[in-house]
Structure 1
Amino acid sequence: MAVIATDSFRTLALQVTCHAVNQARDHQEARSLMQKTIDRLAQQIAASIAFIGPDCRLVVLPEYFLTGFPLAESLTVWAEKACLEIAGPEYEALGQIAQEKNIFLAGNAYELDRNFPKLYFQACFVIDPSGSVVLRYRRLNSMFAPTPHDVWERYLDCYGLDGVFPVAKTAIGNLAALASEEILYPEVARCLAMRGAEIFLHSTSEVYGQARSPKEAAKITRAVENMAYVISANTAGIANSPIPAASVDGGSKIIDYRGLVLAETGAGESMAAFAEIDLAALRQYRRRPGLNNLLSRQRFELYADSYRQSHFYPANTMLDGEVDRKHFIQTQQATIERLAKLGVI
């Protein structure tokens, strides 16, 4: 199906329940649970587009919507139980949804990579209306999961820096992804904006409430400082998990390049967070001289040496492959102690 470029379309941050696979007895049962989730999504996406209209071209799903997150599982067990193959049946099934509804479908999943056989990565993806994955971003900051930074030298050899910070230039604009708490890391969004990102797709699973949290503030800040849209899709709780189901429920939203919240939903499964994306207005805003054009006023040379000379969380700590889960907290503790001795923190 031909993908026609457009300057204006609607997008949906689809808030759905995550059905965890932690209690699945084996690989086969976990895959069955994932397929049931995909079947539910196909119906929910079709019904949502029927309500919103055929100009809904982009649907963003929450973080790890197929599986939940690992609890006591080792890296090996979680890789076998919950991680997707790059060209596996789950991506194929999601691609069929994108094809049938003529949409760009974005989401987040744990993913295997043959270049790193003992590890997995948490990946954000975008599937275009042809069913092809046109963007694959691996989360760079994670507390308890491997990241490209943990195998940095080898990862760069495989994918290069543009593979670390990918931007998909599509018929509906330049798309980039941020995973969950990475909304709190301005450098990630900035590196994507440097490569032309216009729309940040933020798959998350987070606490939501009446009080504005740091993540809520960060979503608006990332939009304003990068003059970009932020589409943030949160879970509607996590089922089949020992964690109370509604702990991460609600607040999916769409924020424009001025920091205005265009749509926001409360708790529970919902398609209420949909809004228009006006690419022509965004591009005009970015090309208008003046005080508010923050991108054109950036002086990156001012900061480059400070970043180059600073070493906080170390790279390449997982080059030898699988580690015990205690590795993550131990590495962080060692980093804190080192920075304290240096008087940095």
Structure 2
Amino acid sequence: MQPNRGAEPSEESTSTTGGPVYRAVALQTACHAVNAAPDTRAARDMMAAAIDRIGVQIAATKRTLGPSLRLVVLPEYVLTGHPMGEPLSEWAQRAALDPAGPEYARLGEISRDQNVYLCVNGYELDEHFPGAYFQASVVLDPNGAVVLRYRRLNSMFAVTPHDVLDRYVSIYGEEALFPVADTEIGRLAAIASEEILFPEVARCLAMRGAEVFLHSSSEVGSALLSPKNVAKLARAIENGAYVVSANTAGLFGIGLPPASGDGGSKIIDHRGLVLAAAAQGESMVANAEIDLVALRRARRAPSMENLLPRQRFELYASSYAKTSFYPPNTVTVGETQREHFYVTQRATIQRLSEAGII
């Protein structure tokens, strides 16, 4: 299995001033966690039921919005919920998807039947790292094929490519870290959950031509300017890109009040304007037109507001190159427990404090 590195922007796509105009939806749907399932088989049955339910919702949304709907973004870990202290190996067995498994096959059927690009976020196995899993955002095209596979790079309690960086890059190459897919509906890139708070992730994707950020999230549903809501606006403005952000419509089965993660899915345009936003509950209200003609016109017009081509990366490169905060390559797959991530962060804080940085 190879993480999709994304297609390099073609000469044609980078030279034309035109581009498609289509509709996208951040589908706000409920997450029924598999933590309490009695065994792995029961957990897989719950995941299959979730896919069937989502398939019905996508079909109904397509009938409502019409054939212009070409992009559907699903919430974070929508098929399983998140681990609640389970050992890494147990959660890998219970909730992580096989890249060649039936769940992706069924999702591919849905994307093909509805003629949409479908972005799903979940936990995923990797044959090179047995006993572990990565959190992945995967995009399936209208043929049901995977055109983008992004593995989350920043996580508090799970293994990321950064935790096994040298081996990961030796297997998949550096371009697998920040993939961008050049598609008929624009250059797509994924940002997972709280990574919207890390501007470098979106920036590195924008460096590779990303035009539409697909943000799968499970977050506090609030009308206030929460950290993530502030960050969504900032990532859109500073990169001149759309943000399609899908939140869960409640988290069921983990003991928390379900509405703790419910509502506020939204679509933001390249100017930082919120085009559509959902309230609470399962909803397709967060749908809007993605106008790549306008985006590309704005990106190619000299102006103070056009921030992306004004970036002077040479000024910052040496600071990044000679600085390390959270260290890479700290995980030994098969041996690391969740406490490792707390210990590593504490050690990082101590080191930065002693250096007078924080």
Tell me which residue corresponds to 1:120: 133
CA offsets per residue over residues 22-42 of structure 1, 9 Å max, x none?
Answer: 001111111100000011011
Tell me which residue corresponds to 1:58: 71
Of residues 214, 218, 224 in structure 1, which corresponds to 2:237?
224
Q: 1:119–1:322: 8 Å Cα contact kept in structure 2?
A: no
CA displacement at 1:320 relative to structure 2: 4.7
Tell me which residue corresponds to 1:41: 54
CA offsets per residue over residues 100-128 of structure 1, 9 Å max, x none?
Answer: 00000001000000011121100001000
Provide the C-alpha distance between the structure 2 equivalents of 1:251 and 1:270, rounded to a whole number of angstroms.
10
Q: 1:75–1:322: 8 Å Cα contact kept in structure 2?
A: no
Give the secondary structure class of the aligned counterpart of 2:149.
strand
Give the secondary structure class of the aligned counterpart of 1:122.
strand
Tell me which residue corresponds to 2:171: 158
* Alignment of 1:275 onto 2:288: yes
- Structure 1: gaps (5+ residues): none
Q: 1:121–1:147: 8 Å Cα contact kept in structure 2?
A: yes
RMSD value over aligned CA atoms?
A: 1.0
CA offsets per residue over residues 110-166 of structure 1, 9 Å max, x none?
Answer: 000001112110000100000011100000000001000000000111111210000
Provide the C-alpha distance between the structure 1 equivalents of 2:334 and 2:300, rounded to a whole number of angstroms.
46
Tell me which residue corresponds to 1:201: 214
Tell me which residue corresponds to 2:269: 256
Tell me which residue corresponds to 2:180: 167
Provide the C-alpha distance between the structure 1 equivalents of 2:332 and 2:201, rounded to a whole number of angstroms.
22
Q: 2:245–2:265: 8 Å Cα contact kept in structure 1?
A: yes
* Alignment of 1:233 onto 2:246: yes
Of residues 117, 120, 143 in structure 2, which corresponds to 1:107?
120
Query: Matched residue pairs, number?
Result: 341
Q: 2:71–2:118: 8 Å Cα contact kept in structure 1?
A: yes
Give the % identical residues. Answer: 61
Q: 1:20–1:67: 8 Å Cα contact kept in structure 2?
A: yes
Tell me which residue corresponds to 2:93: 80
Q: Quick one: which amino acid aligns to residue 260 of structure 1?
A: L
Instruction: Please identify runs of 4+ aligned residues in structure 1 that moved more than 2 A.
Output: 319-322
CA displacement at 1:6 relative to structure 2: 5.8
Provide the C-alpha distance between the structure 2 equivalents of 1:304 and 1:243, rounded to a whole number of angstroms.
43
Provide the C-alpha distance between the structure 1 equivalents of 2:343 and 2:250, rounded to a whole number of angstroms.
30
Q: Quick one: which amino acid aligns to residue 197 of structure 2?
A: L
Matches within 5 A, 1:6-17: 7-17=20-30
Tell me which residue corresponds to 2:190: 177
Q: Quick one: which amino acid aligns to residue 75 of structure 2?
A: P
Give the secondary structure class of the aligned counterpart of 1:304.
helix
Provide the C-alpha distance between the structure 2 equivalents of 1:118 and 1:130, rounded to a whole number of angstroms.
31
Provide the C-alpha distance between the structure 2 equivalents of 1:227 and 1:165, rounded to a whole number of angstroms.
18
Provide the C-alpha distance between the structure 1 equivalents of 2:29 and 2:214, rounded to a whole number of angstroms.
16
Provide the C-alpha distance between the structure 2 equivalents of 1:320 and 1:121, rounded to a whole number of angstroms.
12
Tell me which residue corresponds to 1:306: 319
Provide the C-alpha distance between the structure 1 equivalents of 2:110 and 2:335, rounded to a whole number of angstroms.
34
Give the secondary structure class of the aligned counterpart of 1:296.
helix
CA offsets per residue over residues 282-340 of structure 1, 9 Å max, x none?
Answer: 11110001111111111000000101111100100014543111101111001000100
Provide the C-alpha distance between the structure 2 equivalents of 1:338 and 1:88, rounded to a whole number of angstroms.
43
